[in-house]
Amino acid sequence: MKQLALVCLGGALGASMRWGIAMGLQWKWPKFAETFPYATLIANFIGCFAIGLGVGLLGREGVKWGAELQLLLLVGVCGSLTTFSTFANQTLDLAPGKALLNIGISVAGGLFLAWLGLTLTGARPA
- Predicted local distance difference test score (pLDDT) of residue 65: 84
Instruction: Tell me the C-alpha distance between 31 and 38, whole Å.
Output: 11
Whole-number average pLDDT of the chain: 94
Please choose, from the candidates 111, 47, 116, the residue with its C-alpha nearest in 3D space to the C-alpha of residue 77.
47
In terms of pTM, does the model score above 0.85? yes
CB atoms within 10 A of CB 126: 4
- Predicted local distance difference test score (pLDDT) of residue 64: 82
pLDDT digits (tens, 9 = 90+) for 82-102: 989 899 999 999 999 999 999
- The residues, any chain, with a CB within 8 Å of residue 118's CB and separated by 6 or more, are 52, 53, 55, 56, 125
In one-letter notation, the amino acid at residue 41 is L
